[in-house]
Structures are given as C-alpha cells and as structure tokens.
Amino acid sequence: MSTDAGKEDATTDIGNNANANNANNANNANGYREPSELLKRLFLPPKTPSLTLSSDSRWLIYTGEPPLPSIELLSRPEEKLAGLRFDPVLLAPSRLDYCFDLKAQHLSLQTTTTTTTTQTTSSEVRDIPLPPDSEGIRYIRFNPNPPAYALQQFVFTSKRKNQNLLEVYVCNLTLVENEDENENEDEDGNENDHHRWVVHHVSSLDGKRLNFVNGCAYQFTSDGKSLLCKVVPENHPSSPPAEPTVPIGPSVQTVTEGARKAPGRTYQDLLKNRHDEDKFRYYLTTELMKVDLMTKKPTTTTSGTCSSKNKYYESASIVAQSKGGLIPYCMESSPCGRYLLVESVTDLSYSVPFRRFGKDVSVWNLEDSSGEDAIAESTTSHSITSTNTSTSTILVVASNPVDDEIPLSYDACSRHKRRFQFHPCFPHTLLYAHALDGGDPANDPVLVVDNSGNNEEITFRDALYTLDITAAASDADADSGSKLFLSLQEPVELCRLEWRYDDIEFTELGTILIDEYRWSDRMERKWKLTPSSSTTLIDSSSNKPTKKLLWERSWEDRYASPGAPMRKLGRMASILSANRRREPSF
C-alpha cells in the first residue's frame, strides 16, 4: 500500500511539472522551450565552482558559474581575426560566461572541544556582495603586496546589467574596529567576524573601455602600489573600419631578407586582406592606464570635505610610453616595481596567428610620468635617449620579425631570442632563451668538450642568458643629474641545455630549477642550479653555479611522476617555497 502510494505521489509530481511546463511552452509556442523543473534538477546540476587562491595562500575565493551558456550569450556577435575570437562590443573573448556568486573562505582550522569530544572543522564560507547592478563577474586577480589599509586585496570585472559595459572593482579585506563598521555584518559568532570584505568601484576608469581581447586587461605591479589597465585610447574611432565595396588593391605578402624556407602549418581565422589588418589594429590598439592603489579614498579639499562623494581610487594617469596606442602581446612588472617588460606587435602576417607576429621587446620606466618621448636606439650600448624628459623611459631589448619559418617538428622553436622575463631574485634583471641550433632539430647541436675531468663531448641546443638593466647619467650630465640613460649590460650565459628549454622556477634561497624536454621520445629533465654565492646566480669563469640533474623521465609515465614543487608568492615575484615546514594550518 505504501509503495503504491509513493509511486502515485511521484507520478502526480511529474504530472504537475509536465502540466506547468506545457503551459509555459504554450505561451511561447514559437520560441525556445524549457524542460520541466524536475528534468532541470536531473540533467543540469550546479557546476563545480571556480577557485582562486590569495597571494599568501590564506584565503580561497569561490565563484559560481551557470551550468550551460545562455541563448543570449551564444547569440552575441563574434569577430575572428589572427587566431583570436572575441566579442567586438565588449572587447572580451567570445562565449565567455560570467560568475553569479562570490564567496570567501579563510583556510584555517577551528577546534571545538566539548566534555567528551574534540572536533576540528574548516572555517565558514562567507558571501561577498556583488555590485547591485552586476550581471556577473570575471577575472579575479590578487594583489601580491596589498597596501597597508587592507589585509588582502583583489580586483574583478563586473558586467553591468543589460549594458555592454565592463567595470573594475577592488575588494579589500579589512578589520572591523568598532560597532558602526559591524552593522552590516552577519552575526555568526566565529573568529571571521573581525574581518570584512568591502567592494569599491574604481572610479578613475569611468568612461574608459577595457580591452580583454588578448587576455586579462589589468595586472598589479610587483610592489602592489598600482594597477595597470589596458584601455581603448581616448581619441579612438567609435566604430570599426567599414569593409570597402570595391577592393582597394591586391593582398601583398613580402619575404624579408635572410628568411629561410620552412613548411607552413594550417591555422584558423588568419588575416586575409588589408581590411582585416585595419580591423585587427582597431580592436587591439590600447593604451596603458596606471591606477594608484595607495590612495583609496577621495582626496580632500582645504575645507576638509571630499571632492567626490562615495568615489574611490580616483587617481590614475596614462602611462607616457603608451600614449597614442600600441598592440601589446604581454607585459610583466619588474620585482622592484619600477620597470615594465612589454612585448608589442610591430609586423602582421597572413600565414601565422597573433602569437607569431613580429614584436618589439622593450623595458619601460614607470616612474617617469612625462609626455611623449622620442626614442633612438644605440646599436652599441643599447641606450635610449629622450628629448624632453629627465629620464630615458623606453629601452628596446630586441626586435623580432614574424616567426613564420619555424619547422614543423615539435622540437623546433624560434631562432630569435625568446621567452623574456624578469629574474625574480633581482630587482631589474632580464632572463631569456636562445636556440644554439637555430631552432631546427635537424641542424647539428653545438659541441662542447667537458673540462671537468671526463673530457666528454656534450651537445647543446638551448641556452639561457641574463641581462642586467642599469640607469646612469652621461658624462656631460653627471654633475647635474638632469638626464639618465637606461642601458643593458652584456648578456651573460646562465646555463646551456642539451634539449629544448621548457620552464624555469626559483627558490627564495637563490636555487634555480630548469626544465627541458625532447618531444621525439617524450622525455623530460629537471636540473637544479645552485649558486656559488648568495649574491649572484650569474655563470662566469670565476663564479659558476653547480648544475645537478634531479630526474630524467618520460612524461607519459604518470604513475612514476615525482610531482611538482610546492609554490608560494614571495615579496618580489612568484617563487618556490623552499624548506617549508608542514603545519596544521596555513
């Protein structure tokens, strides 16, 4: 009897859901139809939340996402240029869904002791209120060095409801010092009641369009004092270039002098004509805006009143070197926070995607806020001169042409200098890789005789180099100090690799871990470089780091994988955690 009654109740429930669903579909007979609520619960379960770890590994941010993209999202316009697919209205990757939920959890353990038992539980997950007009958020980034007024700080992008507008918000973790600040807090009665996440709109970006076409539009400087944002130039045209009804000329492709023959791969969504070039430049040209994070509240006037009520982070300026616009490929802040490593696109191509376009690699001085600079590169000392500034602000490190001649082998790479980055253990030292075999595995590697006593012949295909940046006054201006020149020291070889360079990591003690690979047999190696002194990692005849092989294995053998080192974010950059003790809590 009870079993039959249960079946009858279930049948009635399904029938009621079906009737309600039929009524909804009847009202929208010519549109998309939705399944019943019962089927939604069965076949559209909640999606696993995305997780973001804070810079000190003490806070975890949860963001909830819809299980499937909406019809509105799939119907948005899409541009396909140079291997990129993006929304031309939002200037963001196409088909990008937005998170509707934001929560934070402190990664600590709470112990509850009773007369009979002791129970250990994790801290509570607490909601962070989204902006009232937000349709969803994306691109959460933590500040590596939060300012003094915040225990933790991260930024995110919010899409305004029913508008094609992306806004930037800063979320600060602060201490609740009095009862007035605790009025809006939940009375949960746990230790996290002393903390509060407060969201502020970055008002200095009002009226600016952020550009997310090629990755996240903002990043922190290493010192945490500023937020660098890619924005559309102020005098940029409001609409993209119209396609001509009559072709203005043939599609011309030129071969540069000294290029070598190489088979070409097949790529999707490449540039096809001059109109595609014009659209590419229109959508990807940006300027760089520097937002001051040290001053949170509005500035006060002489009378003591705020100049703009309820507005935060109003201090911002355009980075002088980006005035007029450029097409950035990637950027990295130096550990000291003064310089910015920028790779910008210079030459376009119809045969390769965006990532292989010709680029200039340069270093910018972010401490100079003067106007436009006239740049002249010295072929001998790499120094850069400036016409109307007290400090030379742009240093051209390398100018690479279009990389359309890389062989098809997966062991091949560019024959030009590549993989530029800042050395995280020094304030302003560059690190890059260069192929000794021209980037082609079919070429003979460089042969070197080992003089350590074995007299073995060792072959090398890649090498890593360091470049130190210096700022010094010229002889004529040494006394007055009115003009400083950025210059590069001669490159110094850090180490050589028998296979192709893959990755590099650093420890706080100065030890370097280097990965190399050989695709032909799926082999990989990890090397450990230990400096001979605590002040330098430079390889020279008098001071050479000790190189030790940690392992050589096939990356397809996953059962025997030794894993990866534990990481944490240091004060200057993302580095490894060396000799860290295991503790019950973070």
**Is the same domain home to 21 and 135?**
no
Please indicate, yes or no, if residue 536 is contained in any of the structural domains: no
Q: How does pLDDT run across 326-349, given as a tens digit for each residue?
A: 999 999 999 888 899 999 999 999
pLDDT at residue 129 is higher than 60: yes
Q: Report if residue 238 sits inside a domain.
A: yes
Instruction: Say whether both 38 and 145 belong to one domain.
Output: no
Residues 210 and 155 in one domain: yes
Q: Pick from 371, 433, 359: which is nearest to 400 by CA?
A: 359
Assess whether 84 and 203 both reside in one domain: yes
Distance (Å, rounded) from C-alpha 448 to C-alpha 461? 11
Q: How far apart are CA 343 and CA 430, in angstroms?
A: 13
Give yes or no: residues 172 and 234 share one domain: yes
Q: Which runs of consecutive H residues, i.e. helices, occur in 264-394?
A: 274-284
**Domain presence at residue 236:** yes
Q: Which of 211-215, 276-280, 492-496, 531-535 bottoms out in mean pLDDT, i.e. has the lowest?
A: 531-535
* Region 384-406 average pLDDT: 69
Say which residues have a Cβ less than 8 Å from residue 539's Cβ, sequence separation at least 6.
Answer: 492, 493, 494, 495, 545
For residue 243, pLDDT over 80 is answered with yes
- Do 40 and 143 belong together in one domain? no
Question: Which pLDDT does position 412 carry in this prediction?
Answer: 92
138 lies in the same domain as 16: no
Question: What is the DSSP-derived secondary structure letter of residue 215?
Answer: S
Same domain? For 143 and 207 the reply is: yes
At residue 582 the predicted structure's pLDDT band, cuts being 50, 70 and 90, is very low
Asked which of 40-44, 379-383, 424-428, 491-495 is least confident by mean pLDDT, the reply is 379-383
Query: Is 1 in the same domain as 91?
Result: no
Percentage above 90 pLDDT, the chain: 45
51-97 pLDDT, tens digit per residue, is: 998 888 889 999 998 888 888 889 999 999 999 999 999 999 999 88
Residue 487 CA to residue 394 CA, distance in Å, equals 10
Residue 235 lies in a domain: yes
Question: How many domains, in total, are found in the chain?
Answer: 2
Q: Report helix, strand or coil for 24.
A: helix
> Residue 272 sits in which domain range?
77-97+131-243+266-299+309-318
pTM across the whole model: 0.82
pLDDT of 580 strictly over 60: no
At 562-578, the pLDDT tens digits run 988 877 766 554 555 44
Q: In angstroms, rounded to a whole number, what is the distance separating the alpha carbons of residues 129 and 201?
A: 13
In the chain, the N- to C-terminal Cα span, in Å, equals 56
**Is there a single domain that holds both residue 17 and residue 93?**
no
Q: Taking 50 as the threshold, does the pLDDT of residue 159 lie above it?
A: yes
Segment 466-509, tens digit of pLDDT: 999 887 765 555 454 445 677 888 999 999 999 999 999 988 77
pLDDT at 394: 84
Q: Is residue 70 part of a domain?
A: no
User: Using CA atoms, how far apart are residues 481 and 390, in angstroms rounded to an integer?
Assistant: 9
**41 and 154 assigned to the same domain:** no
Whether residue 369 is contained in a domain is answered as no
CB 395 within 8 Å of CB 487: yes
The verdict on residue 165 lying in a domain is yes
Determine contact, residues 461/498, Cβ cutoff 8 Å: yes
- For 429-472, how does the pLDDT look when each residue is reduced to its tens digit (9 = 90+)? 999 999 999 999 999 988 887 666 566 778 999 999 999 988 77
E strand map for 221-282: 226-231
Q: Do residues 21 and 145 both lie within one domain?
A: no
**Which residue in the block uniquely carries the two structure tokens 């973790």?**
173
Q: How many CB atoms lie within 10 A of CB 505?
A: 17
In a domain, 66, yes or no: no
